[in-house]
Amino acid sequence: MVEAAIVVGGYLLGSAPFGYWAVRFFRNEDIRTRGSGNIGATNVWRVHGPALGIPVVVLDVAKGFVPAFVGLKVAGDLVGVLAGAAAMAGHWRPVYLGFAKGGKTVATAGGVAFALAPLAAACATATWIVLFLLGRYSSVASIVAAALLPVYVWALGGDWPVIAFGALAAVAVLLLHRANVRRLLDGTEHRFQFRRAARA
């Protein structure tokens, strides 16, 4: 019963659309009408800069970390994985937005990974940073870092539930970036700009 409550709690926390709420509260607008239309930290940063982007990154990571960490400490790897996966599902289809399209789960998956396998997560984060700084394509950095996460977990001796989580998270990140992959192949994917996007 406790394990089930942790998993459900993971979904509810993961559903918290911090990007949507922050922009609605501080800018009185719907982030879904700006930039890529995504509620995640990358779009918030792209449109409104680091003043809102950084807090949303931290909150999106935290909502993956907290349920996975609680599940891990209370009931072990498997419940930690399930609670973290539930948080990712909540970020993807948040109940507070009527199960409408949410974010692409990258930051939330990172939070889960830091709870379950911090050293592997640090390696994946370093991979993301290097690729992002080299190419300024958030999508490429996210896909490659996610793909390498289960490899890092396995190489560092992680348990099978955590390796399985890494593999499934990598698949989820790739599927949620399908449109980005198409734009990359077409040569139309936008590079990230560190300054705020100008309103049309």
Specify the amino acid at residue 115: A
Q: What digits encode the pLDDT tens for the residues 73-98?
A: 999 999 999 999 999 999 999 999 99
The answer to which of 13-22, 37-46, 122-131, 140-149 has the lowest mean pLDDT is: 37-46
Q: How far is CA 118 from CA 48, 112, 123, 136, in A?
A: 30, 9, 9, 25
pLDDT for 194 equals 62
Share of the chain above pLDDT 70, in %: 96
Label residue 200 by pLDDT band (50, 70, 90).
very low
Domain edges within the chain: 2-186
pLDDT over 80 (residue 119): yes
pLDDT over 90 (residue 8): yes
Q: What is the mean pLDDT of residues 11-33?
A: 95
Give the span between the Cα atoms of 197 and 82, in whole angstroms: 37
Token pair, residue 65, equals: 């970390």
Share of the chain above pLDDT 90, in %: 77
Give the span between the Cα atoms of 25 and 44, in whole angstroms: 13
pLDDT for 198 equals 47
Half-sphere exposure for 69 (CA within 13 Å, toward CB): 13
Give the span between the Cα atoms of 144 and 131, in whole angstroms: 8
Q: What digits encode the pLDDT tens for the residues 150-188?
A: 999 999 998 999 999 999 999 999 999 998 899 888 888
Q: Which residue has the tokens 């077409």?
A: 186
Q: What is the mean pLDDT of the chain?
A: 92
